[in-house]
Amino acid sequence: MAAPQKFLNFIDSNVPKLIDRLAEAVAIPSISGDASRRQDVYKMGSWLEAQLNKFGVKTEAIPLGQEHIEGQVLELPPAIVGRIGEDPKKKTILIYGHFDVQPANVSDGWNTDPFKMHFDKESGRMYGRGTTDDKGPIMGWLNVLEAHHSLGIELPVNMRFCFEGMEESGSEGLDEFIGTEAKKGNDGWFGGVDCVCISDNYWLNDRTPALTYGLRGLTYFNVLVSGPGADLHSGIFGGAVYEPMTALIALMGKLVTQDGQILIPGVYDGIKPAASDELEIYEKLDYSVQDLEASAGGKIAISDDKSTVLMARMRNPSLSLHGIEGAFSGVGAKTVIPATVGGKFSLRLVPPQQPDDIRAKVERYLEAEFAKLNTKCTMKIEYLHGGIPWVADHRHWNYQAAKNATERRTSSGGSIPVTLTFAENLGVNVLLLPMGRGDDGAQ
Amino acid sequence: MAAPQKFLNFIDSNVPKLIDRLAEAVAIPSISGDASRRQDVYKMGSWLEAQLNKFGVKTEAIPLGQEHIEGQVLELPPAIVGRIGEDPKKKTILIYGHFDVQPANVSDGWNTDPFKMHFDKESGRMYGRGTTDDKGPIMGWLNVLEAHHSLGIELPVNMRFCFEGMEESGSEGLDEFIGTEAKKGNDGWFGGVDCVCISDNYWLNDRTPALTYGLRGLTYFNVLVSGPGADLHSGIFGGAVYEPMTALIALMGKLVTQDGQILIPGVYDGIKPAASDELEIYEKLDYSVQDLEASAGGKIAISDDKSTVLMARMRNPSLSLHGIEGAFSGVGAKTVIPATVGGKFSLRLVPPQQPDDIRAKVERYLEAEFAKLNTKCTMKIEYLHGGIPWVADHRHWNYQAAKNATERRTSSGGSIPVTLTFAENLGVNVLLLPMGRGDDGAQ
């Protein structure tokens, strides 16, 4: 069902105002992983609640408990839930989004201040942290609500909303809330929900809208190597002591090959090779190696073959090295021997891989490799978080409705762990309806 | 010649005041490598000048030009030079020190704020950035000046001072100044200087004062690997692209073994093995493997043999991996594929190694190893700075005078490049007279 013309006209004639609303949201640096920005996450939640209220949505801020971060105990940002429409004859759709963002600094390579949205009129693109992940898609729903509200058009469905402020930091607290409410059945916050729609991922390229019916899982590790009691001067101690960085770099070098093959024994166990009809899907998708390289901003595709690249990002596991905590990471030249260094890496998982099993395999492998190093340093492995991979039924009416409005279906590489929480707890179909393009530069 | 009793009494009776002066200096965060702290480096220079003036030293702030740092053009901190005493019958001693410091954050492992000096009365130890490197030793000279000034004792020598604010950042600008002044002979700032004394290194342990007549050189590198145009989301791109971190970690893993053997071909060329009489010196030094491990704060000595450890820190080259710029270095879990990462490492050099030759060998090796990786990422090697190794004549009267006041002579592992600048430009003996202990935790 196409949108009514007056709805489309409303959107077209309000573009500057709608863009300003996104800029207002981007300007609140709601970084959930940074304790010093926690007030901004609270502020962003309140801002969002006020917006929803304006368009007739009844809201509630749900406390989700506390967390320990950087040596402090902080209140988790409340989930903002809302409802509009109570017609038993209509379908009830639950919308999910998150209003927190990843950290961002100009020194990361931004051309403009990431928290002051820059609208490039020439290309029509908007630059700013959260424009696509995930404030932009939330604004998409606000735009829908505002149009219906202003024009006096009745919403064709009952809508429920669940927006969280901890998605970039493991969705702390949300699973418990969803689980508890789901157990209450029709008396809970999600009572009567017929299906879920999540807009927190991306098209495959920059021209073809896509639907997503699969997500890779995640396991994230921090392997800590320690030696001296404090950072040492390499002029004084260099050569005379075992250095934690030397051991950590050796360990991190044993995880994955340059072309992405994971070296942890047993990690590929049970993953089925693609059948010929699955290969056909990849072959037919509107996508090219050039699309990938354009969105990556560099000629770095793992292969010149389209299907190989698509399978690498969608249906195969991967391992990325993210960085090192505790070593010298500033500009310039510091001649330090760091005392304790933590190597951060994560694996993207696909069925039938399970985080707990992969975790055991990673730990066993790292311990064996560390023993071989024969260093006097010590190692500790921290498991930071995990999420299992997910696949949905793309024949469901929820997907068919979305398909009628868009064009393609895909399986996607990224992890949105809450997808699975909704699917398991509510027992309804979950649709991933990306609003962002493949070259949006989400992290 | 022992110090006069009334001098010693003055020092003893003014301990709290002298410690307060050091605390005042530590409280100025004069970090030369951080553009945002440049004002504090200027401030520290002015503070020092005022102190010298109080005790009768005539000073001048010497402009040293500009530098490009973090995309800005900044004035280099002026060198603070000073003079007191013009008696042609006395020897003229030039004192060098530096009033800038390395960066320091509580998150690096400090128990207290590094820029608020903590005096632990129990142990008599002072904790704070710069207490030993190198504000403490400068205060040592201020204490000498104040005692003579207050008591009306004549200084036994003419003194000249040269204090800089860029030592931790390659001593930018100072070499040119020393070179220019040296060429002016008796009309220059260093005219009439008979010898130099530098207090910017450490005893071997925590009980025996030491003199230093040798210093290892330094070459510092940043090997940059680039791939995508901006940081990528590992959920979307992981597995589908060549990742710069994977290549950089592989390269950094090829530089040095766990037990400190440098893997760069030709790097040991020309280094003579220790002769039996040299081995005897190491055997006789008041030092043990336990001393090393106590000052390192961990049981991480490269060997259980004292001479092996002493040679490792004094007469052999070493290679340390310092960290990675551009990767994720914060706390928590960020699932980023960093776009450009720079691996920082340095080598400590010993005669006859020369920085230019080592640089060529490092670059050739890294290029060959990078080619073997077969990645589509690109590599660039930045040479950050270097200093040649140095050995002084420890039979000179400058050393003999210091020896009469202390006990041991050593060759040391650290680099103080200005040592060589003074030795070469002034053609006089340079004494390294450490005031700090081996467990001071200098970086």
Chain B contact probe: residue of A335, A377, A388 with most B CBs at under 10 A: A335
Rg (CA), chain A: 23
Average pLDDT across chain A, whole number:
92
User: Does the distance separating the beta carbons of B443 and A335 come in below 8 Å?
Assistant: yes
Q: Give yes or no for B219 touching A (CB within 8 A).
A: no
> CA-CA distance, B66 to B75, in Å (whole number)?
4
Mean pLDDT, residues A142-157 taken together: 95
pLDDT at A440: 75
Residue B1's pLDDT band (cuts 50, 70, 90) = low
A147–chain B nearest CA distance, Å = 32
For the beta sheet containing A318-325, the strands, ordered from the edge strand earlier in sequence to the opposite edge, are A318-325, A340-349, A217-226, A378-387
Q: Give yes or no for B237 touching A (CB within 8 A).
A: yes
End-to-end CA distance of chain A, in Å? 33
Chain A contact probe: residue of B248, B329, B341 with most A CBs at under 10 A: B329
User: Does the distance separating the beta carbons of A296 and B103 come in below 8 Å?
Assistant: no
CA B103 and chain centroid, separation = 13
Query: A337 near B300, Cβ under 8 Å?
Result: no
Nearest to A165 by CA among A320, A43, A260: A43
Query: B119 near B23, Cβ under 8 Å?
Result: yes
> What are the strands, taking DSSP E only, across B20-153?
58-62, 66-69, 72-75, 79-84, 92-98, 118-120, 125-127
Contacting residues for A423 by C-beta, under 8 A, at least 6 apart:
A196, A390, A392, A429, A430
pLDDT of A407 over the 80 cut:
no
Q: Give yes or no for A413 touching B (CB within 8 A).
A: yes
pLDDT at B417: 65
Out of B1-15, B48-62, B224-238, pick the least confident: B1-15
> CA-CA distance, A443 to B334, in Å (whole number)?
8
Mean pLDDT, residues B237-261 taken together: 97
Mean pLDDT, residues B327-336 taken together: 91
Q: Give yes or no for B412 touching A (CB within 8 A).
A: yes
pLDDT of B438 over the 90 cut:
no
CA A229 and chain centroid, separation = 37
Q: In this prediction, what percent of chain A has a pLDDT beyond 70?
A: 96
pLDDT of A146 over the 80 cut:
yes
Contacts of B344 in chain A (CB under 8 A): 328, 333-334
pLDDT at A2: 64
Q: Going from the N-terminus, what domains does chain A have, and what CATH number goes with each? A: 5-215+389-432 (3.40.630.10), 217-271+316-387 (3.30.70.360)
pLDDT of B14 over the 60 cut:
yes
Residue A38's pLDDT band (cuts 50, 70, 90) = very high
Q: Nearest Cβ partner of B302 from A240, A321, A330?
A: A240
> CA-CA distance, B129 to B29, in Å (whole number)?
8
- Three-class SS state of A145: helix
Mean pLDDT, residues A409-424 taken together: 70
Mean pLDDT, residues A319-324 taken together: 98
pLDDT of B124 over the 80 cut:
yes
pLDDT of A290 over the 90 cut:
yes
- Parallel, antiparallel, or unpaired: how do β-strands B336-337 and A378-387 relate? unpaired
Chain B contact probe: residue of A249, A315, A419 with most B CBs at under 10 A: A249
Instruction: Out of A9-13, A405-409, B258-262, give the one with best mean pLDDT.
Output: B258-262
Q: Give yes or no for A119 touching B (CB within 8 A).
A: no
User: Does the distance separating the beta carbons of B292 and A413 come in below 8 Å?
Assistant: no
pLDDT at A188: 93
> CA-CA distance, A368 to A362, in Å (whole number)?
10
In the block, which residue shows the tokens 């055991």?
A360
Interface of A with B in 40-59 (CB under 8 A): none
Quick one: tokens of A219?
């396991």
Mean pLDDT, residues A224-241 taken together: 95
> CA-CA distance, B434 to B95, in Å (whole number)?
12
Mean pLDDT, residues B229-256 taken together: 96
> CA-CA distance, A159 to A150, in Å (whole number)?
17
pLDDT at A43: 98
pLDDT at B214: 83
Query: A173 near A33, Cβ under 8 Å?
Result: no
pLDDT of B407 over the 60 cut:
no
Q: Give yes or no for A103 touching B (CB within 8 A).
A: yes
In the block, which residue shows the tokens 């007191």?
B84
What's the angle, vertex CA B385, arms to CA B384 and CA B387, rounded to 5?
A: 165
pLDDT of B133 over the 70 cut:
yes
Mean pLDDT, residues A141-150 taken together: 96
pLDDT tens digits for B97-114? 999 999 998 888 899 999
DSSP assignment letter at B232? E
Distances (CA, A) of B239 to A163, A273, B141: 30, 16, 60
pLDDT at B28: 98
pLDDT of B357 over the 70 cut:
yes
Average pLDDT across chain B, whole number:
92
Nearest to B239 by CA among A298, A359, A387, A257: A257
Contacts of A417 in chain B (CB under 8 A): none
pLDDT of A218 over the 90 cut:
yes
- The type of residue at A38 is R
Query: B409 near B402, Cβ under 8 Å?
Result: no
Contacts of B443 in chain A (CB under 8 A): 231-233, 334-336
User: Does the distance separating the beta carbons of A321 and B324 come in below 8 Å?
Assistant: no
pLDDT at A332: 86
Query: A40 near A161, Cβ under 8 Å?
Result: no
Tell me if residue B134 is catalytic. no
Quick one: tokens of B150?
């207050």
Q: Nearest Cβ partner of B376 from A226, A300, A321?
A: A300
User: Does the distance separating the beta carbons of A299 and B376 come in below 8 Å?
Assistant: yes
B357–chain A nearest CA distance, Å = 20
pLDDT of A345 over the 60 cut:
yes
User: Does the distance separating the beta carbons of B336 and A322 come in below 8 Å?
Assistant: yes
pLDDT at B424: 79
User: Does the distance separating the beta carbons of B438 and A322 come in below 8 Å?
Assistant: no
> CA-CA distance, A326 to A248, in Å (whole number)?
12
Contacts of A318 in chain B (CB under 8 A): 234, 238-240
List residues of A with catalytic annotation: 100, 167
Q: Nearest Cβ partner of B335 from A324, A339, A346?
A: A346
pLDDT at A142: 97
Q: Nearest Cβ partner of B228 from A69, A296, A325?
A: A296
pLDDT at A137: 96
Cβ-in-10-Å burial (0-12, 13-18, 19+) of B386 comes to: buried
pLDDT at A427: 80
Tell me if residue B113 is catalytic. no
